[in-house]
Structure 1
Amino acid sequence: MAETKRRKKKSNMAVWVVLGLLILALGGFGVGGFGSSLSTVASVGDRDITVQEYADALQAEQARVGQQFGQRLTIQQMQALGLDRRVMERLLAGAALEEEADRVGLSIGDGEVARRIRENPAFGGIAGGFDREGYAFALDRAGLSERAYEEQIRNDIARELLQAAVVGGTEAPATYVDTLTRYVAETRDVTLTPVTVADLAGGQIAPTEDDLQTFYDENQALFETPELRAITYAWVAPDRIVDGIEVDEVQLREVYEDRIDQYRQPARVLAERLAFADTAAAEAALAAIESGEMTFDALVEDRGLTLDDVDQGEIAQSDVDADVADALFALEEPGIAGPVETSLGPALFRVNAILNPTEITFEEVRDSLVAEVGLDTARRSIDADREMMDDMLAGGATLEELAADTMLTLGTVRWDAGGDDQGADIAAYDEFRAVARAAQSGDFPELETLSDGGLFALRLDEIVPPTVPPLSQLRGEVEAAWRAQTQSRQLTERAAALAASDTDVPAAPSEEIIGLARDATLEGTPRTLVSEIFAAEDGVRIAIEGDDQRAYIVSIDAVNVPDLTAGEAEDIRAAVEQQAGQTIASDVFEGYGQAIQDSAGFTVDQQSVQAIQAQLGGTYGG
């Protein structure tokens, strides 16, 4: 009975999770505080775009793009990227299509709306099928009436039909598709010959003092030091004070006991289960397995299932009914158990592994618990002192005074925003680098949080502008740069001379490459090599720049025009045709929507838009 209740609780939890996600999808972000006079932000013809619609769309875009960036964007960042305008344009286009559907008399019947709602898996119950109570609950939590949501579905279907009517039959011209496919699928046969230092008449080269001075004078940007930020900071991290934390033995025991399920595991088996309609079928299957006529894998495949479908994972005796447990744990080695009655009917179990009971003693994990509990205690100690530190900074205390009177440690760093941590431990934290990058001279230090629970505050003391050290300090670096640039140029010039000559032969062996594709990469060669090969004419020999160790001579031996009716080229043509058709259809529909919008006329209330963005910026911007 306990097992049944536990599974029911999990099932109910799954329903609430699905409904919660559905609520977010339907809207209901709860934008209030604008006053009763503010209800719409824009209109197209007779169609209004409401405050709630705009706020929901803006926040949905905020969340979507935030997933790509790995953090939630502020409203200000969305404005800088033009995302707020994209949201408004999308809403205006949707309203324009709804307006056009009304104008042409496009009507969607109640039956089609009901079918679309019933087929939405988000409204399905645990047993499958449409869940009327779940549907009503989700709409209520989203702040939508059933009538409003069904009208939204009706409009969505109308827009889909309108779009299908406009772009139906749109396809890319065959000449365009063929030309693009030939370009993409073309291959070339080439001979690639490296030109190395061994091909240079004078061999390895060395610069004179005049060469170095001239190169240094003409390439100052290569040797410029970055802008540095001279920063004073005070900080503390849990691992910096953990050694001074005394860990209570009783607390360690309590943590161990709280996690006893991790440290103490009963005997378990790794098993798969295949259920049958009746005992006779299960026994027949077992007999076929034992005789070698059939395998368990084959039985699973014959049912149209995969091993993942029948996998039961780790099973302990307490996880299953007594009859199943007896059958599984009676095995002394992996094999087939059953048939045995289960909630799904008679079943065979394949036991793939038998796992003995395990226990990790307190003594075995004590050291790791000491470290973990110590760090947790250190974090709580830091957090307990935070308010006092904030008050000190608010009262005008300097970082030096803060470090003298608290657990914070004082430090300085000349920090390069584009470089590494410059030897300062704190510069390894993203949070420190973000604040250091944004700091301005004269800013008052503020307490900030580190990812591990530590705290820091910083002060920008000076911005050290970029400088170019004298040649005497950079001689080795300048010589290396001169040598690389000069040698690269000489190798390219030698490759060009050899490419134009039929008599000289490079020292390095050539390599024949058959069927080189346009998107291929040749390991160890410059990224531009393949594109330069495809820019060259058939039958020519060209020189291509490499690095300071080699350049290349390339002979274009053959240009292979693909047969668009067979092989890989045929597949490429189909993909190009589909993509081109979709692009044309998208352009046509976008132009159609813009024409509708212009014809119907539209207005945008910028004051309302700004008011919504201001409120969302305060509520959701961080």
Structure 2
Amino acid sequence: MLKSFRDSIKGFMAWIVVALFVLAFAFVGVPALENFGGKAPLQVGDQRYSVNDIDDEFARVMERNRQDTGEVLSQEEARAAGMLGQAINALTIRGVYVSEAGKLGLTVTDDMIQDYLQSDERFRAPGKDSFDQATLQAILQNNRMSLNDFRQAIRTELLTRQIDEVAALLVPAPTIYGKTIALRQTEERVVRIARLSAGDVPAPTDEQLQSFYAANADRYRTPERRTYTAVLLTPDVLDERIQIDDADVRKLFEARQATMSQPETRTFVQAQFPSMEAANAAVEAVANGQSFAEAAETAGVATARFDDEVKGDLVDSGVADAVFGLDGPGLVGPVDGDFGVVVAEVTNITPGTDVTYEEVADELRQELFEEVYADEIDTIYDELQESGDAGSSLADAARDLGLPVMTIGPVDRTRNTDDGQIEERVPLSMHMRAFDMSSDQIFEEVTLPEGNYGFIEVDSVEAGAVKPLAEVQDQVKIDYISEQAQSSLANASSSIRSAMAGGETFEIAALQAGAQVETRTLSNSNVPPNLSQDLIVEIFDAPIGEMVQVTSPDRETMTLAQTESISFGPNGQWETMAQRMDSQIAQSMSRDLYEAFFSAMSNANGIQRNDAAINARFGAGE
């Protein structure tokens, strides 16, 4: 979440992309699903966000994606692309800052907002050095914002900046850090390397095999197996219990019809003129054969293009009425609009389409089902818990409520059954919980994704038993030989260390132990492919004279090494590298401190998500 926040505060248009600081629009005509469960879908401190707020934010993220990529995604496709999660994260981050600003008593005055608009060049027309209303209007219309929404967004951003300016101060790194890391890049080591091999280990005798088997019996134990009762509370299980009345579906359709249908859209180009006279002159020039773009250029005003606009989304109601009042493409105006005198040229009209009840009835029925399901699952959950507290078994409590009951097992922790099948009737989280419970516990609930629940109760536990030697003899033999090889390598390594402690050199001690020895010069830019990365790390971390060792993955060979000398090669870029390292370390330290600060703000203000309510509105959760 924090990374997405840092990425989103790089400029005015960037935070509009993810709608980080824009107050949500009220969504008209939708049943009050935000009251589900009596708990807001999202609450950050004292900031509460309804499903309508999330819906607006989600739509805004989708619209920005359309503008950036040209893709027109359905809500389902947008969810799959993570856009619902982006919207929820954006609201969450904004809520943290707004709540924290309130605690700190921070304020933003109207004068501060005015200064912001006047000083930021993004609100200026090309070639101008002062605030331009037409540019602001274009920003508002492209981002579906009203003036009041925009002012609140700026207010929130300025509050956030006040906090960030303190939290995001760059922390200087100790200069020794950069110098040390830069030196490390040029470091060279002269290293003696010895290789030991375990050789051929003789096969064990029957007595050795029996002794090894007895000493390591737990390796050859069958896994514990359990049988448990499971009850799922999911839409599939509760489908027959929930009946959705056709009248309710019809009622929801009537409330949603206006928003589900596709309204008429128009594409137009507009220009704002300094006076009615200038606008009339431009209209006359077009009538005399000039293009609208040429007439605007002659008047010295900029044009702004608006693609596929819905009438209700246009900020200037006067311009909206004029543009949508034309019977076909053409010029309209002058219009004395909210931001000045406007002339517009409509270039394309896309008629609206109406959605019929039959086309969306199944979708709306499913939406109502999910809303009722969320309430039903809460009721059943409470009733099961009450039965458990009263001493009822899970099976009896579930059957009393008409719920299907599953007996799982005998099965081991890895979900293997007696007949070699994989038990997959319950989610893995439920299965693992069954193996963490004691057999005398009353049944427990397990929270599942998408607002669902499961209940489990352990019925019986079969302890694992040691398999007979005859059944596992081949594996015991493999394990014995592997351990003997490891022991041989460990003994050889120990003899080398003992010899070195007695005064022998690493090379002589290694040769006496039967190792092959070579001398290599190693650096960060010269790493031999036949040396493992683990060994290289050990070598460069060890001081001169200290022996290090690494065993191969198959545990049949061991490589030992000792650094004889360390030098630092020439590097004309050393000082530049050290400065760059200092800068990178400082940024990393500042980032860590900032993350800790944001985490502390989040914890102090509290973030609560009601995933059941979110899923009831949007389907599969984020």
Per the shorter chain, which TM-score range? Answer: 0.3 to 0.5
TM-score (norm 2): 0.43
TM-score (norm 1): 0.43
